[in-house]
């Protein structure tokens, strides 16, 4: 095994244990960035962790702190060495940290240097506690010291868990040395067990004593530490006292005692990392039941031989149909399913537009024999294929439309017999007529393949059209309509908690937001963004959000989505505005590689920028075999951005785009 999911090239297996293994790898999609891949075998012991991560891994991608290892992604192993596989292995990827073991590093250090290291650890713990996470277990090898730009930095590479989560989801809990008695006795974790853990870390930093497998007692700590430093002993004792109710109540209390006892001025509350909105999309609120129902529909058809369902998502404007499809596709990937995704709008009515996207998506699943069999029609939709046959497009015979429907439909059906897949179409009402006829053929001929459909409608009133479309179909297809509701007050509070990275939902504040927005998910998100950008909500010196100073009677925020997003764009950095300008000149979704060529931005920087624009609800993304593409969520916003570009600048954009596209097509033909 050399390549996982066509993305991670294995360099070295670092460790193997009962859960799986740790692997040093390169992310070939991000300039060969070195990362660590934690492979997890699906077993009874890891089932709860895997189920938890399927829903919640989004939370981890937004944990950004200099002393905490970055966690990037969670997925299922689906492809090994470019070959699709059926496996029971999952993985998450995280930052590859190269450094020295903290306790080895600290052995010859004085008290001032030790306290400096410890303050960084406290800063990491406080950040996590503010976000609603705790470290349930830390191995002594999971705290490293690195040097960045001449500064010594502590990095914790242990995996945190939610404060009020299911303890069954905790893995890697075999290391008992730093664990509180409460955790050892009944397997529960909370902030007090983290305080205990911090006390044990401080003891070993100060004494230089090797961490072992036998838990040390207070008598030994008293004998070793108290005679050397009474202040330090008092702090350690208050961290690890057996009665957890008498321990420190917070990380702030520990640092206050350190500052007071040792005449220090450590500030562990860095607003730069706390007073921010998510850089990446968060998990969805009040949509898990919808996602589960969609997955059940698919599995019933694929694996239980039940009739196929044409799942249709509807909802009022702003209820998050696009966001649901994005999250649903991520979940399908984790479930090991294959996807063909098409985003439609009023600009995509050309003949075969949707089918062309779908076929491009599934070409990688098709066998060579199947491509050869239907080459005559495929090459008309995808001219690049002609290069592989050394024939001229003009030499091909002109076939009638009926034949195109039959042959393209059969290609899709036969490919689905190799790898069943789900066709997902956003804004189904914009489907062009010729694509509609092919989809109709696929639905009528379901016995010849394994294809599921999930579509969304821009407007709920169009559902009758889809119902008529299905009823006219001769195949055994059922229409399943899933309506997205608005938020309740509790949903609004949870959405705000996720957006602001809080440890608990702010119900009172949410009630006010709910009143202003009537629970419309998009308006809730946009209002929080607007309040943040205009500094009506902010972080205090303790790292807590101040939400009590918002007076809606004196604040006049537009509730028009296009106005909100246009105002949001005004406050963006120049590089983000440049990317938005470039995307606005295209009539199609724009591949990331094209944006990279036109902006001259490095891949990691561009990827981060684009994900931020997605999380801001300005752009949406889709993935096909040509890579990741981006487009505007709103045609109205796109039009406004395009019309605001200076004519000379616009001309230069078009010239550059033409040259970039020509060069890219030449490269793709050579590589095909």
Question: What average pLDDT does this structure show over 176-180?
Answer: 75
Residue 570: pLDDT above 60? yes
Question: What average pLDDT does this structure show over 512-533?
Answer: 92
Q: What angle do CA 172, 330, 41 make, to 5 degrees?
A: 30
What values do phi and psi take at 541, rounded to 5?
A: -70, -15
For residue 449, the model assigns a pLDDT of: 92
Residues forming beta bridges with residue 342, ordered by sequence position:
425
For residue 85, the model assigns a pLDDT of: 78
Is the pLDDT higher at 470 or at 274?
274
SS3 state at 46: coil
E strands, 96-150, are: 100-101, 133-134, 143-148
For residue 553, the model assigns a pLDDT of: 84
User: Is beta strand 627-632 parallel, antiparallel or unpaired with respect to 619-624?
Assistant: antiparallel
What is the rounded distance in angstroms from the CA atom of residue 268 to the CA atom of residue 252?
8
Which of the four pLDDT bands, split at 50, 70 and 90, describes residue 387?
Answer: low
Residues in contact with 657: Cβ distance below 8 Å, sequence separation at least 6, in sequence order = 582, 585, 586, 594, 598
Q: Return the half-sphere exposure (C-beta side, CA atoms, 13 A cut-off) of residue 158.
A: 28
Residue 224: pLDDT above 70? no
For residue 245, the model assigns a pLDDT of: 82
Q: Tens digits of per-residue pLDDT, 280-298?
A: 889 999 999 999 999 999 9
Residues forming beta bridges with residue 598, ordered by sequence position:
none
Q: Tens digits of per-residue pLDDT, 320-348?
A: 999 999 999 999 999 989 999 998 888 78
Handedness of CA 470, 473, 474, 476 (dihedral sign): negative
Q: Tens digits of per-residue pLDDT, 418-429?
A: 889 999 999 999
For residue 227, the model assigns a pLDDT of: 62
Q: Which residue has the tokens 């490269």?
A: 667
Q: Tens digits of per-residue pLDDT, 432-456?
A: 999 999 999 998 888 899 999 999 9
Which of the four pLDDT bands, split at 50, 70 and 90, describes residue 533?
Answer: confident
Here the tokens at position 587 are 């009539």
Exposed, middle or buried, 304 (CB in 10 Å: 0-12/13-18/19+)? exposed
In this prediction the pTM is: 0.88
For residue 623, the model assigns a pLDDT of: 57
Exposed, middle or buried, 239 (CB in 10 Å: 0-12/13-18/19+)? buried
What DSSP assignment string belongs to 163-210? TTS-GGG--S----TT--HHHHHH----HHHHHHHHHHHHHHHHH-PP
Q: Tens digits of per-residue pLDDT, 56-68?
A: 999 999 999 999 9
SS3 state at 144: strand
| Burial 138-153, CB ≥16 within 10 A → b, else e | bebebbbbeeeeeebb
Weakest-pLDDT range from 156-160, 433-437, 459-463: 459-463
Residues in contact with 472: Cβ distance below 8 Å, sequence separation at least 6, in sequence order = none
Exposed, middle or buried, 280 (CB in 10 Å: 0-12/13-18/19+)? middle
Residue 394: pLDDT above 50? no
Here the tokens at position 468 are 């008529």
SS3 state at 537: coil
Alpha helices in 339-432 (DSSP H): 353-362, 368-373, 375-381, 384-389, 401-418
Alpha helices in 208-286 (DSSP H): 218-221, 230-240, 251-262, 271-274
Q: Which residue has the tokens 């419309």?
A: 520
What is the rounded distance in angstroms from the CA atom of residue 156 to the CA atom of residue 138?
9
What values do phi and psi take at 265, rounded to 5?
A: -135, 40
User: Is beta strand 338-343 parallel, antiparallel or unpaired with respect to 421-426?
Assistant: parallel
Handedness of CA 125, 172, 144, 180 (dihedral sign): positive
What is the rounded distance in angstroms from the CA atom of residue 161 to the CA atom of residue 164?
9
Residues forming beta bridges with residue 462, ordered by sequence position:
none
For residue 549, the model assigns a pLDDT of: 93
Q: Tens digits of per-residue pLDDT, 107-150?
A: 989 999 999 999 999 999 999 999 999 998 888 899 999 987 78
Nearest in space to 75 (alpha carbons), one of 27, 125, 18: 27
Name the percent of the chain lying above pLDDT 70.
91
Is the pLDDT higher at 588 or at 316?
316
CB atoms within 10 A of CB 543: 20
Here the tokens at position 146 are 């690195």
Question: What average pLDDT does this structure show over 300-309?
Answer: 85
Indicate the average pLDDT of the chain: 88
What is the rounded distance in angstroms from the CA atom of residue 664 to the CA atom of residue 597?
9
Residue 671: pLDDT above 50? no
Report whether 46 contacts 40 (CB < 8 A). Answer: yes
What is the rounded distance in angstroms from the CA atom of residue 453 to the CA atom of residue 311?
6
């Amino acid at each position: 095994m050399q390549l996982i999911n066509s993305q991670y090239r294995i360099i070295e297996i670092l460790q193997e244990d009962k859960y799986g293994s740790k692997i040093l790898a390169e992310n070939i999609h991000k300039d060969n960035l070195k990362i660590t891949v934690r492979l997890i075998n699906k077993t009874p012991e890891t089932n709860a962790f895997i189920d938890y991560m399927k829903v919640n891994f989004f939370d981890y991608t937004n944990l950004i702190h200099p002393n905490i290892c970055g966690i990037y992604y969670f997925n299922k192993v689906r492809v090994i060495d470019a070959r699709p596989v059926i496996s029971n292995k999952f993985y998450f990827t995280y930052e590859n940290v190269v450094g020295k073991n903290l306790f080895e590093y600290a052995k010859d250090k004085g008290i001032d240097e030790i306290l400096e290291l410890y303050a960084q650890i406290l800063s990491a713990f406080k950040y996590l506690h503010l976000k609603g996470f705790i470290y349930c277990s830390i191995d002594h090898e999971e705290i490293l010291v690195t040097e960045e730009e001449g500064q010594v930095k502590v990095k914790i590479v242990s995996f945190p868990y939610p404060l009020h989560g299911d303890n069954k989801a905790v893995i890697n809990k075999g290391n008992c040395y730093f664990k509180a008695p409460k955790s050892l006795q009944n397997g529960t974790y909370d902030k007090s067990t983290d305080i205990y853990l911090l006390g044990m870390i401080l003891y070993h930093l100060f004494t230089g004593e090797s961490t072992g497998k036998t838990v040390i007692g207070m008598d030994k700590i008293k004998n070793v530490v108290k005679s050397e430093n009474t202040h330090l002993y008092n702090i350690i004792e208050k961290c690890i006292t057996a009665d957890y109710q008498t321990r420190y109540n917070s990380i702030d209390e520990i640092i206050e005692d350190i500052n007071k006892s040792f005449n220090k001025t450590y500030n562990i509350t860095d607003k730069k990392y706390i007073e921010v909105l998510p850089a990446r999309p968060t998990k969805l609120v009040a949509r898990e039941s919808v996602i589960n129902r969609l997955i059940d529909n698919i599995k019933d058809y694929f694996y239980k031989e039940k009739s196929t369902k044409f799942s249709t998502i509807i909802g009022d404007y702003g209820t998050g149909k696009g966001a649901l499809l994005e999250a649903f596709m991520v979940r399908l990937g984790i479930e090991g399913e294959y996807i063909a995704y098409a985003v439609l709008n009023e600009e995509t009515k050309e003949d075969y537009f949707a089918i062309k996207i779908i076929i491009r998506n599934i070409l990688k699943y098709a066998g060579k024999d199947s491509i050869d069999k239907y080459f005559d029609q495929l090459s008309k939709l995808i001219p690049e294929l002609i290069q592989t046959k050394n024939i001229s497009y003009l030499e091909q015979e002109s076939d009638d439309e009926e034949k195109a429907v039959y042959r393209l439909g059969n290609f899709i059906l036969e490919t689905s017999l190799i790898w069943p897949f789900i066709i997902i179409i956003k804004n189904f009402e914009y489907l062009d007529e010729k694509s509609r006829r092919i989809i109709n053929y696929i639905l009528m001929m379901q016995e010849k393949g394994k294809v599921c459909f999930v579509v969304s409608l821009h407007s709920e009133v169009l559902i009758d059209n889809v119902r008529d479309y299905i009823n006219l179909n001769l195949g055994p297809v059922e229409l399943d309509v899933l309506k997205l509701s608005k938020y309740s007050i509790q949903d609004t509070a949870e959405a705000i908690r996720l957006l602001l990275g809080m440890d608990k939902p702010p119900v009172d504040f949410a009630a006010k937001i709910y009143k202003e927005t009537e629970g419309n998910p998009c308006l809730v998100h946009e209002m929080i963004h607007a309040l943040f950008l205009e500094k009506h909500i902010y972080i205090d010196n303790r790292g807590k959000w101040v939400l009590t100073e918002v007076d809606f009677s004196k604040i006049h925020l537009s509730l028009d989505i296009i106005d909100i997003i246009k105002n949001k764009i005004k406050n963006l950095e120049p590089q983000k505005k440049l990317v938005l300008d470039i995307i606005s000149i295209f009539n199609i979704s724009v591949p990331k590689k094209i944006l990279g060529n036109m902006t001259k931005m490095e891949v990691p920087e561009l990827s981060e920028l684009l994900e931020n624009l997605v999380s801001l609800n300005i752009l949406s993304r889709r993935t096909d075999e040509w890579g990741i593409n981006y487009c505007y969520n709103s045609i109205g916003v796109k039009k406004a951005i395009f019309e605001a570009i200076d004519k000379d600048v616009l001309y230069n954009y078009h010239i550059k785009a033409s040259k970039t596209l020509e060069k890219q097509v030449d490269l793709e033909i050579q590589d095909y």
